[in-house]
A = this chain, B = another copy of it.
């Protein structure tokens, strides 16, 4: 019934410095991806503990993590099972290029401006900085399959990206931030509202003045520091957001 624990490849390295439960989590993740189908049962916690020579509590910690990621689910009295992978259209902290590629469209961008400015009172408040702090402003028209999709404006504290303005404007902003500056966005907040296209935005997006747009303001953080504030206007006829919901106070529910 449950796959034999012996079938799982890999071993724990107690000298690596990586927590044992993290190692086991990755071993299990690989096993799940490579050898399991949705609904497959994992070996029992006790079997895993014996197979890897660990205490059951340690095994549980690894499994807890995967349950928290909704990769697997527990059923009391039955076992632990691989879940159907979740729909992947969720609002996430991805870059525009990643996002469009996931949607099967060809992303492109036209740079409208790429310069250093001083933080206005508004920007200073949004970025939690002092007024006048040097910022890199990067404004683009983003295209999908050759058609305008959105107008996008990013503001990044200049001291986080020294030398960025010396080169060409990046093709994928988040890629450059992570690869050249080690700034991997970890979490963020989106503020979503509907708005009407202003004349200038309308011309850029090739829509009527007053056409509905989705305005998304994003604050993106690395650790505790805000690294990117952006405002985007998406054409409502080309872009929808999908947001998963949870009952407030609902902890990781087993069902669903």
A interface residues with partner B (beta carbon < 8 Å): 57, 65, 68-69, 87, 91-94, 184-196, 210-215, 218, 220-221, 223-224, 234, 236, 239-248, 250-253, 255-256
Q: Answer whether A243 and B194 are a contact pair too, CB < 8 Å, given A186-B256, A223-B255.
A: no
On whether the beta carbons of B194 and A246 are closer than 8 Å, the reply is: no
Q: Answer whether A196 and B212 are a contact pair too, CB < 8 Å, given A65-B251, A68-B251, A246-B92.
A: yes
Query: From A248, which residue of chain B is reached at the shortest CB distance?
Result: B92
Q: Answer whether A195 and B245 are a contact pair too, CB < 8 Å, given A65-B251, A213-B212, A255-B186.
A: no
* In the A-B complex, the 10 residue pairs with the closest CB atoms: A194-B236, A194-B194, A194-B212, A192-B241, A188-B245, A194-B214, A190-B243, A93-B245, A193-B240, A212-B212
Query: From A250, which residue of chain B is reached at the shortest CB distance?
Result: B186
- Nearest CB on B from A32, distance (A): 14
Copies of this polypeptide in the complex: 2
Note all chain B residues with C-beta closer than 8 A to A250: 93, 186-187
Note all chain B residues with C-beta closer than 8 A to A196: 196, 210-212, 236
On whether the beta carbons of A186 and B69 are closer than 8 Å, the reply is: no
Q: Answer whether A256 and B221 are a contact pair too, CB < 8 Å, given A196-B212, A251-B65.
A: yes
On whether the beta carbons of B190 and A247 are closer than 8 Å, the reply is: no
CA distance A210 to B236 in the complex (A): 13
CA distance A176 to B208 in the complex (A): 43
On whether the beta carbons of A195 and B223 are closer than 8 Å, the reply is: no
A245: contacting residue among B69, B187, B223, CB under 8 A = B187
On whether the beta carbons of A191 and B244 are closer than 8 Å, the reply is: no
- Nearest CB on B from A91, distance (A): 5
Other A-B contacts than A190-B243, A218-B245, 8 sampled, CB-CB below 8 A, are A92-B248, A94-B248, A192-B243, A194-B213, A194-B214, A194-B234, A195-B212, A241-B243
Among A193, A220, A251, residue most surrounded by chain B Cβ atoms (within 10 Å): A193
A246: contacting residue among B187, B192, B215, B245, CB under 8 A = B187
CA distance A224 to B57 in the complex (A): 28
On whether the beta carbons of A252 and B68 are closer than 8 Å, the reply is: yes
